[in-house]
Amino acid sequence: MAVDSAMSSPLGPPACEKDAKALRFIEEMTRNADAVQERVLAEILTRNAQTEYLKRFQLGAAADRQTFKSKIPVITYEDVQPHIQRIANGDRSNILSAHPISEFLTSSGTSAGERKLMPTIKEELDRRQLLYSLLMPVMNLYVPGLDKGKGLYFLFVKSETRTPGGLLARPVLTSYYKSDHFKTRPYDPYNVYTSPNEAILCPDSFQSMYTQMLCGLIDRHQVLRLGAVFASGLLRAIRFLQLNWPQLAADIRSGTLSSRITDPAIRQHMTKALKPDPEMAQFLAQECSQDNWEGIITRIWPNTKYLDVIVTGAMAQYIPTLNYYSGGLPLACTMYASSECYFGLNLNPMCKPSEVSYTIMPNMAYFEFLPHQPGSTSTRLVDLADVEVGKEYELVITTYAGLYRYRVGDILRVTGFHNSAPQFHFVRRKNVLLSIDSDKTDESELQKAIENASKLLVEFNTSVVEYTSYADTTTIPGHYVIYWELLTKDSANSPSHDVLTRCCLEMEESLNSVYRQCRVADHSIGPLEIRVVKSGTFEELMDYAISRGASINQYKVPRCVNFTPIMELLDSRVVSVHFSKDLPHWTPERKR
Ligand code: AMP
């Protein structure tokens, strides 16, 4: 096994005794990665031996890796979905887990257009909490003095529903923020937020954001770090400030809360927190009324040391905009997690975004790795301690909550080791073509949306002969752009602007529920745009690709583009532009 000597040294020195304990825990887990993994698997199999799922594969009392690997199949969501559906419908027998399924976590990954439901059990909250408790001790190694101020984090709860059998179904962070683990967390000087719980827990996203921003402004000199879960969320907060600073400044000037904030818990909290501060209101108005918002974050929050947001994976597209608004503050990506399971953390969080590696904590679940090398047909899964530096793998997990050898869909590349625990660069999620926020649209979903929208063109004797797309993040929020090359048989009766506008909405209606929720409830995606290009444009695109070495026989139209010269070529051939005028349909009710 390769051991990266630079990273194999113990972490330290810690900032306080609590941190020392957390760092010792990381050392212990990563030094014994393989043994911990063996123990985790044995624990999961022993306690769940009598579940319907495991009994089917006749493991008996065996809890060793070899038997497990020889008998239990590697699966995707669709394989386990019938079992999940039974639990959702109210079957309380031990189907997947010996411990009762306490709720479902709704993943941003979808199946048949709907969010995947991930089973979870009560004790998983402790495991998630444990991972969270390791983040600040690591950060304190790199950034001193974080106990001398606060963090301005934009955190939100989202809508939740109940399954037909009565179990809650909600996003993992909503579940966490509503838990006592979060709500009654003990005071920790290294982890003080400007946002009150009342604002974080307010289901109305406007009132929640408004209050969190207001509190962040009031405490502006104390703010040492600014964050959101994903980069897109932090940019949305900046956009919110752009749109709402006059009212925020008015509230600060008068020391009273806008009448748009009606949530009683927030109003009660804010009567204590808000005092008239005309000087601060004047400063805010002066900064925000300028046209130039470059470096606005450090102007308003001058003591910010870093931005705490995920900018790995699809979120990397936001790095330039974050740099613009923050004047190039460090971007810290601290953890790697999902609804299925929390995976691990970045032990060097102040590194450059392109160098971020996550160390998977071997106590969180049992991890296996499916080789994902171009041209390789190997289907033999590799254990956590046996992955090789430089190679790419798909992550496969076995969780305490009843997922066995489940393919998460993330592709990771091994960059090195901390002790005997490997560290991974997040390469990409499989099959994601377009993503703005938590939405993930794959090629077949885009194809289906194009097909549905192009039905509106039939009466005009028009068809879509070629298309491609890209996620335009130059607007806040970002939006999907679809390039269409049309073939119109009767130019006297070609589709009007109005028809093409309806095509935009029809495409949005066809996209998965996470996309539609982002559009309707979260406002984190803007209206979809169709850009019609001149006939012959896609042939030019092919010529361009061939001139750069593509094989003429193997050339396929890319269904998503992000290479600047190609986008410039497409944009230079645009003949008309159309945006969705309405919102697609979305309700929090599950249809199944
Ligand atoms: P969800 O189940 O909706 O919470 O989404 C989990 C997925 O988000 C993961 O499987 C990854 O694809 C992605 N993700 C989570 N954390 C990170 C990260 N730090 N960097 C890149 N992608 C991430």
- 393 in contact with ligand 1, CB cutoff 6 A: no
6 CA distance to ligand 1 middle (Å): 27
Query: Is the CB of residue 318 less than 8 Å from the CB of residue 298?
Result: no
Return d(Cα 77, Cα 403) in angstroms, integer. 9
Tokens, residue 445: 């979903």
Q: For a substitution probing ligand 1, which of 106, 336, 357 has the most ligand atoms within 8 Å of its CB?
A: 336
Ligand 1 atom 5: residue of nearest CA: 338
Percent of the chain with pLDDT over 70: 98
User: What's the pLDDT tens digit per position in 533-565?
Assistant: 999 999 999 999 999 988 888 899 999 999 999
C-beta neighbour count of 294 within 10 angstroms: 12
- 368 in contact with ligand 1, CB cutoff 6 A: no
Helices (H) and strands (E) in the chain, counts: 20, 20
Return d(Cα 566, Cα 262) in angstroms, integer. 49
The answer to whether residue 4 scores a pLDDT higher than 50 is no
- 426 in contact with ligand 1, CB cutoff 6 A: yes
User: What's the pLDDT tens digit per position in 335-372?
Assistant: 999 999 999 999 999 999 999 999 999 999 999 999 99
- 344 in contact with ligand 1, CB cutoff 6 A: no
User: What's the pLDDT tens digit per position in 15-61?
Assistant: 999 999 999 999 999 999 999 999 999 999 999 999 999 999 999 99
Residue 7: pLDDT band (50, 70, 90) is very low
- 411 in contact with ligand 1, CB cutoff 6 A: no
Tokens, residue 69: 């690997």
Residue 589: pLDDT band (50, 70, 90) is low
The answer to whether residue 6 scores a pLDDT higher than 90 is no
**Higher per-residue pLDDT: 264 or 490:** 264
- 518 in contact with ligand 1, CB cutoff 6 A: no
pLDDT at 484: 98
Residues facing residue 161 across a β-bridge: 169
pLDDT at 554: 87
Residues facing residue 469 across a β-bridge: 482
- 339 in contact with ligand 1, CB cutoff 6 A: yes
Return d(Cα 345, Cα 117) in angstroms, integer. 24
The answer to whether residue 2 scores a pLDDT higher than 80 is no
Q: Say what the pTM is.
A: 0.93
Residue 5: pLDDT band (50, 70, 90) is very low
Residue 3: pLDDT band (50, 70, 90) is very low
Residue 590: pLDDT band (50, 70, 90) is low
Question: How confident is the prediction for the chain on average, in pLDDT?
Answer: 95
Ligand 1 atom 4: residue of nearest CA: 338
Name the residue among 466, 476, 448, 433 with its Cα closest to residue 562: 433
User: What's the pLDDT tens digit per position in 273-320?
Assistant: 999 999 999 999 999 999 999 999 999 999 999 999 999 999 999 999
Name the residue among 403, 397, 400 with its Cα closest to residue 367: 397
The mean pLDDT of 437-445, rounded to a whole number, is 96
- 223 in contact with ligand 1, CB cutoff 6 A: no
